């Protein structure tokens, strides 16, 4: 990688974290409504993963989607505008936090019904395979989603039909307040792929470089051979969504994970390898602050959708 | 009488039934350690323990399906769906299994299962998380569908549901949890399948349930100040659907408005209106009006969402239209 590529990845992670922190504030001020699921702690996962996709590779994920949206190339402004329900948002203010998408960026959405997008991902890949295209569909989902039937049907189908899907489980240890041990019969999610005779790997999701290397290898495998599961072990620092009483874990556990903070690890990596100085990174931090301010300003000054918008896009044909 | 919230009323019904009958237990996502995502089962896990307050994986088909099976062998599960939108994931077990098993095997088996589900829009949760699909569940014979509009009815009807030997879908509206109302201190059980007059009046009959009741009561105050007295009939359950108080009221007022939160097409209003036409055609003085949600998937944007949902003013206007006022 070139130096600027290393720094771009740093920029992405910091941008996502600041956007999320600002979103939490805007939620508290009542400017964002509905459910808000923050990605803080998990930044390295989609940053590393999506940095190695080809533009023609598709991405689809669940409702914890702001970071994924940004990594797919949706400008922070449009993400913020969507959070505020504005006409300039990536889903015209009609989707909100859980339903960001930008088809031109090959980002096929945040999806709010747990696991429901897994069969859809198999279908994206089926469409591509059917037409003889060489794209991979990257489907991201949580650990909790692997306990719903959708997951198993999609895994089986993708394997029997050799569909080019890279299944990526963001194992952040919990589905809402239920830990993996309490909800899943197997302690490692990757074991579930074994039952479908599918190649799998389990990697550290707090280390950006590990994620990036493993993702690159996995994508090339899928492109040639069909589906694979990558389990990426990570942690969310904040509650499941805003207003989570967090009775299921203690603050010591969160602190322990924060010792392996993805941004902290990467800063250390860049400076120890003498790829970038702390000053250079701090400069990026300042730049990100401006970017986030601009995004919020853009969103706040953007118009609300017209009332007529309610009746638009219900059907393709009038 | 105590003035408590709908949330407390539902919580009390569950608690008291679990104390009364050791066979009653709860299962669903985050009902235990978390205390219920709407805090309905707060404190249950510590009191009743993990055997009777069971946190499940995210597996709606199994939450309902295993509820059906457990009910068949004589225990009384209350399967909780975090929201009714996830009932679609469990649709086979609700529709093809719970609703059919008693009849299909000639009455040999029973399914005394309660499925609690939180429904309704108005909280900016977007298209998949804001639905009010109550009417479609009422389509299926063999399933009872209950949807209370007051704390009093919620408590009494949930107890009835738990004691019922038939499967009951119990729908709670998310924006009614904070609503307060009078609830008796002593144990009481309401009968499922009885509509109730919630306000008396001579000019127009409003037929409604759940969230529609709250809106209709507010509309009634507004209309009363303008000299129109409405009678409000709360259906309380969509199946069985008790039309008797509706027909009796209609014979007095000769005009009706049906208010529901869900979509108009193939909805509660359509059913109620046609039953009025079938049973009281000679008493009709004006076409029956249906007030319902605009026919679009609900958007996230607050203003648009509110524009799509029924507002108190829509009810006022509909009542005026049937009185030609
Ligand atoms: C079918 C369905 N059931 C339940 C929910 C409610 N719900 C939303 S997120 C969630 C937890 C999902 O956990 P996981 O898959 O691990 O993703 P994470 O939130 O940790 O990113 C639940 C239970 C839902 N949206 N859809
Ligand atoms: Mg998780």
For ligand 1, mutation pick of A42, A64, A96, A144 (most atoms within 8 Å of CB) = A144
Q: Are B223 and B319 in contact (CB under 8 A)?
A: yes
Question: Same structural domain for residues B228 and B166?
Answer: no
Residue B129, domain member (yes or no):
yes
Q: Chain B partners of A26 at a C-beta cutoff of 8 Å?
A: none
Pair (B91, B113) in one structural domain: yes
- Are B118 and B234 members of one domain? no
Is A133 touching ligand 1 by the criterion CB < 6 Å? no
Residues B177, B28 share a domain? yes
Contact between B36 and B82 under an 8 Å Cβ cutoff? The reply is no
Specify which residues B118 forms β-bridges with: B172
Looking at the domain assignment, is residue B188 inside a domain?
A: no
Residues of B in contact with A95 (CB under 8 A): 126, 299-300
Token representation of residue B120: 């309704």
Interface of A with B in 287-316 (CB under 8 A): 304-305, 307, 309-311, 314
B59: nearest CB among A93, A98, A147: A147
pTM above 0.90, yes or no: yes
* B120 domain residue, yes or no: yes
Considering only CA atoms, which of A161, A158, A111, A20 is closest in space to residue B127? A111
> Rounded CA gap, B50 and B31, in Å?
10
Nearest to A147 among B33, B58, B124 (CB): B58
Same domain as B178, residue B64:
yes
Whether residue B38 sits in one domain with residue B153: yes
Q: Is residue B189 part of a domain?
A: no
Question: Residues 130-169, chain A: which have Cβ within 8 Å of B?
Answer: 144-145, 147-150
- Best probe of the B interface among A23, A26, A30, A33, by most B CBs < 10 A, is A33
CB A107 within 8 A of CB A135: no
Please name the residues in contact with B222: beta carbons below 8 A apart, sequence gap of 6 or more: B312, B316
The whole-angstrom separation of Cα B286 and Cα B269 is: 15
CA distance B45 to B56: 13
Residue range B61-118, pLDDT digits in tens = 999 999 999 999 999 999 999 999 999 999 999 999 999 999 999 999 999 999 999 9
Question: Does the beta carbon of A183 lie under 8 angstroms from any beta carbon of chain B?
Answer: yes
- Which helix (H) or strand (E) segment is B117 a member of? strand B114-119
Task: Return d(Cα B3, Cα B148) in angstroms, integer.
Answer: 17
Shortest distance between the Cα of B102 and any Cα of chain A, in A, equals: 26
Task: Decide: B78 and B69 in contact? Cβ < 8 Å.
Answer: no
User: Are B301 and A35 in contact (CB < 8 Å)?
Assistant: no
| Domain boundary, last residue among B183, B213, B239 | B183
Which letter, b or e, does each residue of B238-266 get, where b requires 16 or more Cβ atoms within 10 Å of its Cβ?
bbbbbbebbbebbeebbbbbbbbbbbbee
| Sign, CA torsion A58/A64/A70/A71 | negative
Determine the Cα–Cα distance for residues A37 and A242; give it in Å rounded to an integer: 7
Q: Are residues B249 and B310 in the same domain?
A: yes
Structure confidence at residue A236 (pLDDT):
98
Question: In the beta sheet, which residues pair with residue B79?
Answer: B27, B115
The Cα A214–Cα A232 span in angstroms is: 10
Q: Show the domains of chain A with their CATH numbers.
A: 3-302 (3.40.50.970)
- Assign 3-state DSSP to chain B and report helix, strand, coil percentages, each to 5: 40, 20, 40
Cβ(A113) to ligand 1 under 6 A?
yes
B60, B124, B308: residue with CB nearest A310: B308
Is B191 inside any structural domain? no
Instruction: State the CATH number of the domain containing residue B104.
Output: 3.40.50.970
3-class secondary-structure state, position B4: strand
> Per the domain annotation, does B88 fall within a domain?
yes
Report the residue of B32, B87, B126, B303 to disrupt the A interface, i.e. the one with the largest count of A CBs within 10 Å.
B126
Average pLDDT of adjacent 10-residue blocks, chain A of 318 residues? 97 98 98 98 98 98 98 98 98 98 98 98 98 98 98 98 98 98 98 98 98 98 98 98 95 97 98 98 98 98 98 94
pLDDT at residue number A318: 77
The verdict on a CB contact (< 8 Å) between B126 and A112 is yes
CB contact (8 A) between residue A149 and residue B89: yes
DSSP label at residue B95: I
Q: How far apart are the C-alpha atoms of B15 and B108, rounded to whole Å?
A: 30
How many Cβ pairs closer than 8 A exist between chain A and B? 120
Q: Is residue B279 in some structural domain? A: yes
Rounded Cα distance between A25 and A38, Å, is 12
| Residues making up chain A, counted from first to last | 318
Which own/partner pairs from A19-27 qualify as long-range (CB within 8 Å, at least 24 positions apart)?
A: A19/A66, A19/A70, A19/A76, A19/A79, A19/A80, A19/A292, A19/A295, A20/A66, A20/A67, A20/A238, A22/A80, A22/A292, A22/A296, A23/A66, A23/A80, A23/A83, A23/A97, A24/A238, A24/A242, A26/A83, A26/A84, A26/A296, A27/A242
Burial of B235 (0-12, 13-18, 19+ CB in 10 A): buried
Contacts of B303 in chain A (CB under 8 A): 304-305, 307
Residue B175 CA to ligand 1 centre (angstroms) = 21
For residue B98, what is the DSSP state? Answer: I
Instruction: Name the pLDDT band for B229 (thresholds 50, 70, 90).
Output: very high
* Residue B139 in domain: yes
Task: Give the Cβ contact number of residue A35 at 10 Å.
Answer: 20
For the Cβ of A64 lying below 6 angstroms from any atom of ligand 1, the answer is: yes
DSSP one-letter code for B210: T
User: The sheet that has A137-142: what strands, in order across it?
Assistant: A107-111, A58-62, A137-142, A165-171, A228-233, A199-204
| Other Cβ atoms within 10 Å of B47 Cβ, number | 12
- Whether B296 lines ligand 1, by a CB cut-off of 6 Å, is no
Q: Which residue blocks in chain A are alpha helix, DSSP H?
A: 3-28, 43-51, 66-71, 76-83, 117-130, 149-160, 180-183, 191-194, 208-225, 251-258, 262-272, 278-301
Q: Same domain, yes or no, for B38 and B103? A: yes
Claim to verify: residue B177 and residue B209 sit in the same structural domain:
no
Whole-number pLDDT of residue B276: 98
Going from the Cα of A171 to the center of ligand 2, the distance in angstroms, rounded, reads 5
Phi, psi of A110 (to 5 degrees): -85, 140
Contacts of residue A44, defined as CB under 8 A and 6 or more positions apart, other chains included, come to A13, A205, A206, A207, A208, A211, A234, A262, A265, A266
Average pLDDT score over chain B: 98
B40/B178 same-domain check: yes
Do B176 and B204 lie in one domain? The reply is no
Pair B177, B202 in one domain = no
Q: How far does residue A144's CA lie from ligand 1's centre (Å)?
A: 6
Q: Tell which A residues from 36 to 65 touch B, by Cβ distance under 8 Å.
A: none
DSSP B249-264: HHHHH--EEEEEEEES
Q: Which domain does B97 fall in, by range?
A: 2-183
Last residue of a domain, one of B157, B183, B209: B183
Asked whether the predicted pLDDT for residue B325 surpasses 90, the reply is no
Q: In this structure, what CATH number is given to the domain that contains residue B234?
A: 3.40.50.920
Residue A317 has what pLDDT?
A: 93
Whole-number Å distance between alpha carbons of B54 and A177: 13
Question: Which of B131, B150, B183 is the last residue before a domain boundary?
Answer: B183
Q: List the single best residue of A27, A113, A171 to mutate versus B (max B Cβ within 10 A).
A: A113
Q: Could you tell me if A239 lies within 8 Å of chain B, comparing CB atoms?
A: no
Q: For residue A72, what is the DSSP state?
A: T
The two structure tokens encoding residue B261: 């939160």
Closest atom of ligand 1 to A37 CA is: 19
Q: Is the CB of A175 under 6 A from ligand 1?
A: yes
Number of domains in chain B: 2
Whether A169 contacts A203, CB under 8 Å: no
Q: Inform me whether the pLDDT recorded for B277 exceeds 80.
A: yes
ipTM of the complex: 0.96
Active-site residue, selected from the candidate residues B30, B129, B214, B229? B129
């Amino acid at each position: 990688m070139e130096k600027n590529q290393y720094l771009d990845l740093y920029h992405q992670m910091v941008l996502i974290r600041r956007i999320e922190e600002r979103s939490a504030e805007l939620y508290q001020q009542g400017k964002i409504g509905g459910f808000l699921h923050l990605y803080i702690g998990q930044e390295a996962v989609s940053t590393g993963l999506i940095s190695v996709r080809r533009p023609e590779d598709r991405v689809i994920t669940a409702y914890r989607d702001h970071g994924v949206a940004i990594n797919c190339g949706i400008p922070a402004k449009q993400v913020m505008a969507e959070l505020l329900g504005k006409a300039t948002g990536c889903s015209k203010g009609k989707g909100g936090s859980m339903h960001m998408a930008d088809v031109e960026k090959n980002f096929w959405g945040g999806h709010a019904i747990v696991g429901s997008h897994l069969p859809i991902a198999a279908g994206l890949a089926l469409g591509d395979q059917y037409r003889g295209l060489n794209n991979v569909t990257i489907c991201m989902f949580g650990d909790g989603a692997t306990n719903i039937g959708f997951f198993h049907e999609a895994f089986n189908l993708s394997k029997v039909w050799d569909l080019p899907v890279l299944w990526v489980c963001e194992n952040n240890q919990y589905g809402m307040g239920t830990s993996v041990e309490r909800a899943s019969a197997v302690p490692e999610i990757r074991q579930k792929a074994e039952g479908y005779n599918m190649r799998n790997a389990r990697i550290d999701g707090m280390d950006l470089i590990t994620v990036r290397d493993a993702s690159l290898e996995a994508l090339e495998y899928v492109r040639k051979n069909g589906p694979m599961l990558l389990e990426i072990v990570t942690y969310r620092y904040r509650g499941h969504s805003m207003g989570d009483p967090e009775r299921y874990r203690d603050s010591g556990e969160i602190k322990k994970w924060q010792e392996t903070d993805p941004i902290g690890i990467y800063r250390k990596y860049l400076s120890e390898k003498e790829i970038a100085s702390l000053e250079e990174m701090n400069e990026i931090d300042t730049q990100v602050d401006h970017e986030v301010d601009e995004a919020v300003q853009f969103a706040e000054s953007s118009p609300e959708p017209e009332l007529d918008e309610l009746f638009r896009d219900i059907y393709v044909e009038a | 009488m105590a003035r408590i919230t709908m949330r407390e009323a539902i919580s009390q019904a569950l608690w008291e039934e679990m104390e009364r009958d050791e066979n009653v237990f709860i299962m669903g996502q985050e009902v235990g350690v978390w205390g219920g995502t709407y805090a309905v089962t707060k404190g249950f896990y510590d009191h009743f323990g993990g055997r009777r307050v069971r946190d499940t994986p995210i597996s709606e088909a199994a939450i309902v399906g295993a509820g059906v099976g457990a009910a068949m062998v004589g225990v009384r599960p209350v399967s909780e769906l975090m929201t009714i939108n996830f009932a679609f994931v469990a649709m086979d077990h609700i529709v093809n299994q719970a609703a059919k098993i008693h009849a299909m095997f000639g009455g040999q088996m029973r399914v005394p299962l309660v499925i609690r589900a939180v429904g309704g829009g108005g909280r900016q949760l977007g298209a998949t998380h804001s639905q009010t699909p109550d009417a479609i569940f009422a389509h299926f014979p063999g399933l009872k569908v209950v949807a209370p509009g007051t704390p009093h009815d919620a408590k009494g009807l949930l107890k009835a549901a738990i004691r019922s030997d038939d499967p009951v879908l119990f729908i709670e509206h998310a924006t009614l949890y904070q609503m307060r109302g009078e609830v008796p201190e002593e144990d009481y059980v309401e009968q499922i399948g009885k509509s109730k007059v919630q306000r008396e009046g001579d000019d127009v009959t409003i037929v409604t349930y759940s969230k529609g009741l709250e809106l209709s009561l507010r509309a009634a105050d507004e209309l009363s100040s303008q000299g129109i007295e409405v009678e409000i009939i709360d259906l309380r359950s969509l199946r069985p659907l008790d039309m008797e108080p509706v027909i009796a009221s209609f014979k007095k007022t000769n005009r009706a408005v049906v208010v529901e939160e869900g979509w108009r097409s193939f909805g509660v209003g359509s059913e109620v209106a046609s039953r009025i036409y079938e049973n009281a055609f000679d008493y009709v003085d004006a076409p029956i009006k249906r007030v319902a949600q605009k026919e679009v998937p609900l958007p996230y944007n607050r203003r648009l969402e509110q524009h799509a949902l029924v507002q108190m003013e829509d009810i006022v206007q509909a009542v005026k239209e049937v009185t030609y006022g």
